[in-house]
Each structure stands twice: as structure tokens, then as C-alpha cells.
């Protein structure tokens, strides 16, 4: 059995001679004991009651449910309403995440749709002139940088595997996936974490701007924490079974709640009064570990 696993890893190009960097998993804040499992569950429940589960993430939640509960019938399961349940490829998911950086969700969706319209296959994208690719995704912002990243990923993937497909990642562990994707220039920890959580149905907890700001505001990490250490800390503290729902809900709450992030449009700010945030009982210096 051990020989079979070793042979499979060699076939996937992750044998012991790989030059993949070591993955950092140490605890950055060992004396910071928040969030507790109970606190994570309480926040999840409060945000779920406030927002409902975000429609944009329903298909990914459904895919996770089917994977973890194989007895569920995908056709009859009641969550399968009002959204496209088609499973996107890992490569599609990675490129979508790249396009979502430093822009709105609407603009990133437009950029991906424009990309697919201009170049029907990933082979077409790889063969395209950089300027043509930039023009296709310009509506998503930072077109030169994102086009360069996409082209580099496709080029390296083709050189390493001989085809433009990341589906082999489904056979790897979380640490192996992180090590493998770190070989691709421009693919950072947040992109890797999003691919793990959304496309590979793994238990990981991406830290975007919204999650980071809320985690600091409610004292889940020290006030001096950076994004990298916040990611390491929250992935160790948050129970695996709560990570997906809690992450989606914190992201959604961060887009809407002025009190948690001190951001948002004037329309969003006027839509809620100061007492409407269920996280208002938390503060950076609070020792309270549960929502009252």
C-alpha cells in the first residue's frame, strides 16, 4: 500500500526530490486563545440568522454537502434551487480567484465572462497575445498584472503536466496542494485557500480583507496581526466543520456592515442602524467569548 502511494506521488510530480518550499504551519499566537469553538459556532449562527446563507456560495456549499454526505441525492436535495449546480474545474476556480483580486465581485464576474467569450479554451488563452488577454479582462482592473499571472500559471502548468488541467490536485492532501500551487508565480496564499475551500471541498479558511478586518475588530487575533499570521491562527483555532459556512458569512457581513469594517457605500450604511450588528458585543480588548 505504501509503495502504491509513493508511486502515485511520483507520477503526480511530488516525490521527495521536489523543490517545493516548506509549508509554514506553526502557531503565530499560542497565547491568544480566541476564537473558541463555541464562539465560532455562535458567530456563525448569529450571522446566518441575520443574512441567511449567501446565495453566491450556495452551489459550493451543496457540492461540499454531496461530498461529505454521499447518501444525499443531488437532484432531490432542497438546496438545489435558484443557482447553477455545475461543478467548475479547479483551473476555472483559480483564475476566477485571480480576477477577483482588488476589485468588486461584479467586475470580476464580468472579467471572467469576457475572458471565456474571447478565448473559449485555456489553450486559446495560453496562445493569445498578452495585450489581447489584457483587453479581455480589463473590466476587472489591474489587467496587466492579472494577465501576466494567468499566462504564467498556464505556461508553467503545461510545462509541468503537459496539459492545462489542475484536477490532479484532488488526489493530494491539503499540505501537498499548498506546496504544489506555491510553484506557480503569482498564486498567493489567499488564492490557494480559496481553491482549497471552494473547488476542492477541503477545510481551509481564506482570509480576505473583510475577514481580516472583522477578525481584528472582534479580537480573534491581536491588533498587530497581519494577514498571513491571521490566516495561520484562524485555521488552527476554527473547527473544520465550521470553516466553510463561517468564512462565507464573515465575507458577506464584511461587505455590508459599517461597524465591523468602517467601510461600505452610503446606501449600505443607511440600511442598518448602529444596533443591528450581532458582533457589536465584541471588541478588541473584550474578554467575552460568547455573544450575549
Q: Which residues are catalytic?
A: 190
Terminal Cα distance for the chain, rounded:
51
Contact 240, 213 (CB under 8 A): no
* Alpha-carbon separation of residue 222 from 42, 190, 217, 218, 228 (angstroms): 20, 20, 9, 10, 13
Contact 232, 221 (CB under 8 A): no
Return d(Cα 277, Cα 288) in angstroms, integer: 16
The tally of CA atoms less than 13 A away on the side-chain side of residue 271 is 9
Angle at 228 (CA atoms; ends 262, 219), nearest 5 degrees: 45
- DSSP for residue 2: H
Is the dihedral angle over the CA atoms 140, 145, 146, 148 positive or is it negative?
positive
Amino acid at each position: 500500500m505504501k509503495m502504491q502511494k509513493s508511486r502515485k506521488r511520483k507520477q503526480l510530480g511530488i516525490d521527495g526530490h521536489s523543490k517545493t518550499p516548506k509549508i509554514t504551519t506553526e502557531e503565530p499566537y499560542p497565547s491568544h486563545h480566541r476564537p473558541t469553538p463555541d464562539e465560532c459556532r455562535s458567530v456563525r449562527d448569529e450571522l446566518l440568522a441575520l443574512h441567511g446563507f449567501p446565495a453566491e456560495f450556495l452551489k459550493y456549499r451543496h457540492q461540499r454537502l454531496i461530498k461529505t454526505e454521499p447518501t444525499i441525492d443531488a437532484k432531490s436535495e432542497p438546496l438545489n434551487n435558484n443557482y447553477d449546480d455545475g461543478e467548475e474545474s479547479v483551473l476555472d476556480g483559480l483564475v476566477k480567484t485571480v480576477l477577483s483580486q482588488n476589485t468588486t465581485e461584479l467586475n470580476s464576474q464580468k472579467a471572467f465572462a469576457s475572458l471565456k467569450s474571447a478565448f473559449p479554451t485555456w489553450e486559446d488563452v495560453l496562445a493569445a497575445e498578452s495585450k489581447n488577454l489584457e483587453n479581455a479582462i480589463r473590466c476587472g482592473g489591474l489587467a496587466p498584472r492579472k494577465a501576466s499571472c494567468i499566462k504564467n500559471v498556464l505556461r508553467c502548468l503545461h510545462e509541468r503536466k503537459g496539459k492545462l488541467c489542475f484536477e490532479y490536485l484532488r488526489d493530494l492532501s491539503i499540505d501537498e496542494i499548498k506546496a504544489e500551487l506555491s510553484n506557480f508565480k503569482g498564486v498567493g496564499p489567499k488564492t490557494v485557500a480559496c481553491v482549497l475551500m471552494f473547488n476542492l471541498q477541503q477545510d481551509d479558511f481564506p482570509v480576505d480583507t473583510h475577514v481580516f478586518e472583522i477578525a481584528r475588530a472582534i479580537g480573534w487575533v491581536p491588533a498587530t496581526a497581519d494577514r498571513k499570521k491571521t490566516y495561520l491562527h484562524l485555521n488552527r483555532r476554527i473547527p473544520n466543520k465550521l470553516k466553510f459556512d463561517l468564512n462565507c458569512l464573515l465575507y458577506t457581513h464584511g461587505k455590508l456592515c459599517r461597524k465591523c469594517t468602517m467601510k461600505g457605500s452610503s446606501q449600505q450604511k443607511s440600511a442598518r442602524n448602529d444596533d443591528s450588528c450581532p458582533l457589536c458585543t465584541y471588541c478588541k480588548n473584550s474578554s467575552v467569548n460568547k455573544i450575549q
